[in-house]
Structure 1
Amino acid sequence: MVALTAMTVVVGMSACTKVEDNGNSATPSKSTQEGGISKDPADSKGPAPEIAGAKKGGTAYILRRNDFSHLDPSRQYSVTAMALGQLYYRTLTTFKDLGNNKLLLVGDLAEDTGKDVKGDCKTWEYKIKKGIKYEDGTEVKAADIAYGVTRMFNDALVGGPTYMMEWLADTPQYTSVFDHAKPENKDKLAPGITVVDDYTVKFDFKKAHCEVPYAFNLPFGVPVPKAKDTGTNYDLAPVSTGPYKITKFTKGSEIILERNTNWDPNTDPIRHAYPDKFHVKLGIATATVTQRLIADVGDDQFAFTSGIDPAQVSSIASNAALQNRIISEITPFMFYMWINNQRVKDLKVRQALNWAIDRDAYIKSLGGDKLGTPGTTLLSPLTIGYEAYDAYPGGPTGNPTKAKELLGGATPELVLAHGDDPDAQTQAVAIKTGLEKAGFKITLVATPADSFLDKIGEKNNPWDLYVSGWAADWPSGASTLPVLWDGRTIKDANNQDYPYFNNDDVNKEFDRINALPDSAAAAKAWAALDKKLMTEFAPCVPLTFDRDYLVYGSKVGGLFESDVLGTVAFVNVHLK
């Protein structure tokens, strides 16, 4: 599409992302992430260490405006959904969050983090812990793990991470190799998956994938009993393996989770089950949620959320009485304004957008510097090997003059679509104002917030620009840059290459770095490629580094910012 043609911009949240955009402080307070893989099976055993002073009982309330895009574990790629998911499902591996940005990968459903059978990262074997049960009391078997991955070879089941399907099929177009939706494949396993025995499942890959233990921390390794699989309707009633089960779900209104009496804490290294119930209340305006948590009356004393009203941040920060129930923490998220490179093909237009962006106005629309600091790189500062740079040094408010020079007198007409909630509206106005100073003509269009996760992942989506956030799925540039900019992964739907960027030389560099045996050399190479992408191609506009800033009820204990998820985690929640 030429520069003067009307374009579309969507402001929303993306995969491995938040439903709310909360930024980071002006100066990141954490070092880069430190991640390790446990080799000791004892680390994978339960129970999780008790939380001092925590007692069982009561109902915890989660207050939210938007529904979750998916409750089906394998279709989740929003961290707020995954935070809830930790209560009702378990993955093959999981991270122990040791604090201070230190993470340890251990077995969750598996006895350990997996066996590299041949020492070449091509064959991985997992043994399932015996005695783990579903909510109905039946035992989890290796066949359920195998089926859980196999069912995702289905273009109707979009929304979740796709690493495992792509690696097993050895192509991003994994349903072209095996399509579980076809009747003749209903009773077959996906290629490379073998059920060795009741408690052992094996995965064979054509290429080396040393990241497999990390990848199975994601929910495509969640077991699904074949007899209980209802396809797209599995979103309505997924079967629990965690400490809670979903007993009521009214879309847009509420989700109730109650104890799963068949959950055995002795097998679980990270979860607790202190409250009797979690009651998620949906459809409440974010401003109202924030006001209720500040007021701290009645049941709201037992309530918390994952995003607050930006307009109330300054009043919360200045209220001394609230300071002992605030979470203010850096996260691994970056937020970007994506440029759909299929449609916006003119490099000068993409560069002009980078020069024109007013990050200061955008951060103010989030609620100020407690919620965001200007980000000019593709990788988060918490990523191993991160190096700072600014390819388009327009300053905090942008450089409209430089942008106009690149546009050469053109005034591209842009449609800026945003989520249909007040926060997204405010953020869209901030972006609109900055771009119009550089000569862009912006029209605002509201788009349903709960459809962003799936819609921006559609190759033929009608938009040219959209805002979303991304955090590495494990602490490496390998789970950011290739995921978001490798054009070979582009398919009809369920994409994470949101800018739909594809360059042969860059793709070859992805392959070269992924094959480096030296992790330090790889980290340095990812940082160099980060800078090359922005300098030579300008495929997007980095916006902010992320920080959570939240207030919660006075009788909530155990709420913490997860260095794994990049949002608050619920597994330690207890009520005072």
Structure 2
Amino acid sequence: MRARLATAVGGAMALVVALSACSKNTGDSGDSVDTNKPRSGAIATDPKDSLGPAAEVPGAAKGGTFYILRESKISHLDPQRVYSFAGLMGSQLYARFLTTFKDDGKGNVTLVGDLAETPGKNVNNDCKVWEFTIKEGVKFEDGRPITSKEIAYGIARSFDPDLTGGPTYLQEWLADTPQYDTKWDFKKNKTSLPPGLTTPDPRTLRFEFSKPRCDLPFAVSLPATAPLPPDKDTGVNLDNMPFSSGPYRFTKIQPGVEMVLERNPNWDPATDAVRHAYPDKFVWTLGPDQNTQTNRVLAGTGNDAAAVASGGVPSELLAKITGDPALKARMIVAATPNVFRLSINTTRVTDLSVRQAINYAIDRSSITKNLGGPYGAMPLTTLLPPTTLGYKKFDAYPAGESGDPAKAKEALGGKPVNLVLGTGDETWQQETATQVKNALEKAGFTVTVKPIPADGYLDFVKKKDNPWDIWVDSWAADWPSGASVLPVLFDGRGLKAEGNSNTSQLNSEAINAEFDRVLALDPAKQADEWSKLDEKLMKESAPAVPLYNEVVSVAHGEKAGGLFIGSIFGWPSFVNAYVKQ
């Protein structure tokens, strides 16, 4: 759902508008947040851009074990179900997709072919028919060649309603309906393919749509296009041991404790424009909280010298790190496309004035300060992140960063309101829930906090019949257009029993009609319209409270090299990671 591409620059087509982004200046010149650093995107047109091997990382060396510290297990490892930031970035180690982003870690990204030779061919120049030619020499972990048939099977299994959690762009586009699993039943058609998806030969994958889908090259960069041989499909149990097509393969998965990936001998770097396989192993150590992770990598004893604290630096340790140049050099800081909001279940909180009162009441400053201030979060009053094409800043419920309890009470008009606040059990989630509860109670609400298990958080809040009125949600656009934010989060026509990205469960005929109107426009004319629709949503429906744009600050050991914050998902990327010898 990107904007239209413009004129050629070198071997790539540049996006019409540079993407406004935020990045942290961690040099000696100061610690101010630069909100105007340009971020640019492109799609490769020269097939050479999609060839491997990836350019060598200066100073990188092969060998050693790279450690990733994380508090809880990743929601899903099955590529067709992956949709968390840790899952999206981690999956690059063991899965390959039709396309992927070449990211320099400085805000410049180029979409290239991954399993495909190029980012796709628009056969009739109408965006309705696309073909991808699969590279020669790409293989699974057991040495079998990857063909169009295994990629098509991976896409087909994403139609299975039991395999919830992943993105649904391809399923909805192929079926031409949000109720894709009712139009094509994977369980009854495992030997066939969904409508519009064909494999004319082992190296050709073809998509045919009833409507133009000009964003397909970007959509197929998501893990739903990871290949899988049918005989390796274990259904929901694929989470327990995925089958590799990437540079590493799983050799051990102990849920909640440890995951070990070792080099896949059948991965050929000559076919890969993005990934390296410098370490012999990657080991995920699960359990330690943010404080423990960060203190361990700062101390750098034993294995922790080659580790990254993926949970981020807790606010109480920021002064220690920023005050010591040696430690500060081991912290990477960058704003992300990730926007956090307080979702309001509109089927439970049906009164618009109550939802508006919640917006007036929230104290953003207490939340962002608790998350580390400019090193952790920047207050936000829009549903769209600043990285969106055509973004415009506005505040539909001006209450200052600290909220306005009096204005909230005025909106309530004396009505007593009880709210059930769901929260995950990770430390930062509980602390944020406390800040939300305190602000709402100052405005006269009665708030009951109920826990949501962290390892299943995404699944639970996406259920239509979940028992919470409000909870903290996050969303990062899969590409920087309002089309991959607002319709995904607030179009109610696709609501189902579970797996809903529209967690607010908003279903407004007027808003849905606006989505259709804007999506029918020339992509180059959509940008301003998404900003207008953002404001309309907030004023007329108030389905959520925008909270903050996430800033990631991550510490690592002195032997952990090649790390950067990914430009698309705002989480540590491991494609260049290496162990300093």
Q: CA 1:69/1:111 → structure 2, altered by over 3 Å: closer, same or farther?
A: same
Shift of 1:460: 1.5
Contact 1:61/1:281 (CA < 8 Å) preserved in 2?
Answer: yes
2:343 to 307, 324, 338: 338
Shift of 1:254: 0.4
Contact 1:32/1:383 (CA < 8 Å) preserved in 2?
Answer: no
Shift of 1:26: 7.8
The aligned residue for residue 12 of structure 2 is none
Shift of 1:225: 0.5
Give the total of aligned pairs: 552
The aligned residue for residue 94 of structure 1 is 100
The aligned residue for residue 58 of structure 1 is 64
Shift of 1:34: 2.6
Q: Partners in 1 of 2:53 and 2:186 — Cα distance?
A: 37
Shift of 1:215: 0.1
Structure number with the bigger relative contact order (C-alpha 8 A, sep ≥ 6) is: 1
1:151 to 145, 153, 157: 157
SS class of match (1:103) = strand
Q: Which structure 2 residues correspond to residues 118-197 of structure 1 after superposition, within 5 A?
A: 118-182=124-188, 185-197=189-201
The aligned residue for residue 76 of structure 2 is 70
Residues 338-361 of structure 1, C-alpha deviations (whole Å, 9 max, x = no match):
001111110000000000000011
Shift of 1:312: 2.2
Q: Partners in 1 of 2:496 and 2:309 — Cα distance?
A: 35
2:556 to 540, 552, 556: 552
Residues 365-392 of structure 1, C-alpha deviations (whole Å, 9 max, x = no match):
2233321121000111111111011111
**Normalization by structure 2: what TM-score?**
0.93
Q: CA 1:87/1:383 → structure 2, altered by over 3 Å: closer, same or farther?
A: same
Shift of 1:419: 1.1
Higher mean alpha-carbon deviation, 161-170 vs 455-464, is at 455-464
Shift of 1:266: 0.5
Higher mean alpha-carbon deviation, 151-160 vs 405-414, is at 405-414
Whichever residue aligns with residue 324 of structure 1, its letter is A
Q: Partners in 2 of 1:112 and 1:264 — Cα distance?
A: 17
**Normalization by structure 1: what TM-score?**
0.93
1:503 to 482, 501, 508: 508
Q: Partners in 2 of 1:444 and 1:407 — Cα distance?
A: 21
1:444 to 442, 446, 449: 449
The aligned residue for residue 482 of structure 2 is 477
The aligned residue for residue 399 of structure 2 is 394
Contact 1:314/1:367 (CA < 8 Å) preserved in 2?
Answer: no
Shift of 1:150: 0.6
Contact 1:59/1:278 (CA < 8 Å) preserved in 2?
Answer: yes
Q: CA 1:216/1:518 → structure 2, altered by over 3 Å: closer, same or farther?
A: closer
Shift of 1:263: 0.3
Contact 2:23/2:333 (CA < 8 Å) preserved in 1?
Answer: no
The aligned residue for residue 405 of structure 1 is 410
1:252 to 238, 244, 256: 256
Whichever residue aligns with residue 361 of structure 1, its letter is S
The share of aligned pairs that are identical, in percent, is 49
Whichever residue aligns with residue 42 of structure 1, its letter is K
Q: CA 1:23/1:268 → structure 2, altered by over 3 Å: closer, same or farther?
A: closer
Q: Partners in 2 of 1:549 and 1:356 — Cα distance?
A: 28
1:569 to 555, 573, 577: 573
Whichever residue aligns with residue 222 of structure 2, its letter is L
Q: CA 1:73/1:467 → structure 2, altered by over 3 Å: closer, same or farther?
A: same
2:231 to 227, 237, 248: 227
Contact 1:23/1:545 (CA < 8 Å) preserved in 2?
Answer: no
Shift of 1:36: 1.9
> Structure 2 regions of 5+ residues with no counterpart?
1-21, 25-30
1:536 to 534, 537, 540: 540
Contact 1:80/1:567 (CA < 8 Å) preserved in 2?
Answer: yes
| Mapped pair 1:459 → 2:444 | no
Q: Which structure 2 residues correspond to residues 309-328 of structure 1 after superposition, within 5 A?
A: 309-328=314-333
Q: Partners in 1 of 2:575 and 2:106 — Cα distance?
A: 18
The aligned residue for residue 378 of structure 2 is 373
Residues 248-299 of structure 1, C-alpha deviations (whole Å, 9 max, x = no match):
0010110000000100001001000100000111112222112111212111
Contact 1:196/1:202 (CA < 8 Å) preserved in 2?
Answer: yes
Shift of 1:62: 0.5
Shift of 1:542: 0.2
The aligned residue for residue 8 of structure 1 is none
Higher mean alpha-carbon deviation, 456-465 vs 351-360, is at 456-465
Shift of 1:569: 0.2
Contact 2:72/2:286 (CA < 8 Å) preserved in 1?
Answer: yes
Whichever residue aligns with residue 373 of structure 2, its letter is G
SS class of match (2:375) = coil
Q: Partners in 2 of 1:120 and 1:493 — Cα distance?
A: 34
Shift of 1:469: 1.3
Q: CA 1:566/1:361 → structure 2, altered by over 3 Å: closer, same or farther?
A: same
Contact 1:32/1:384 (CA < 8 Å) preserved in 2?
Answer: no
1:282 to 286, 290, 295: 286
Q: Partners in 2 of 1:111 and 1:285 — Cα distance?
A: 41
Shift of 1:244: 0.6
The aligned residue for residue 11 of structure 2 is none
Shift of 1:317: 2.4
Residues 477-504 of structure 1, C-alpha deviations (whole Å, 9 max, x = no match):
1111111111112122211111111111
Whichever residue aligns with residue 286 of structure 1, its letter is Q
Higher mean alpha-carbon deviation, 397-406 vs 232-241, is at 232-241
Q: CA 1:31/1:506 → structure 2, altered by over 3 Å: closer, same or farther?
A: farther
The aligned residue for residue 491 of structure 2 is 486
SS class of match (1:171) = coil
Shift of 1:417: 2.2
Contact 1:413/1:442 (CA < 8 Å) preserved in 2?
Answer: yes
The aligned residue for residue 300 of structure 1 is 304
Contact 2:105/2:565 (CA < 8 Å) preserved in 1?
Answer: no
Q: Partners in 1 of 2:453 and 2:140 — Cα distance?
A: 35
Shift of 1:321: 2.7
Q: Partners in 2 of 1:573 and 1:249 — Cα distance?
A: 21
1:206 to 180, 203, 210: 210
SS class of match (1:213) = helix
Contact 1:26/1:373 (CA < 8 Å) preserved in 2?
Answer: no
Shift of 1:318: 2.5
SS class of match (1:369) = helix
1:35 to 15, 28, 41: 41
| Mapped pair 1:267 → 2:283 | no
Q: Partners in 1 of 2:441 and 2:418 — Cα distance?
A: 10
Shift of 1:28: 5.0
Residues 419-457 of structure 1, C-alpha deviations (whole Å, 9 max, x = no match):
112222111111111111100111222221111111111
Q: Which structure 2 residues correspond to residues 413-432 of structure 1 after superposition, within 5 A?
A: 413-432=418-437
Shift of 1:206: 1.3
The aligned residue for residue 358 of structure 1 is 363
SS class of match (2:45) = coil
The aligned residue for residue 384 of structure 1 is 389
RMSD between aligned alpha carbons? Answer: 1.6
Q: Partners in 2 of 1:114 and 1:187 — Cα distance?
A: 25
Whichever residue aligns with residue 59 of structure 2, its letter is G
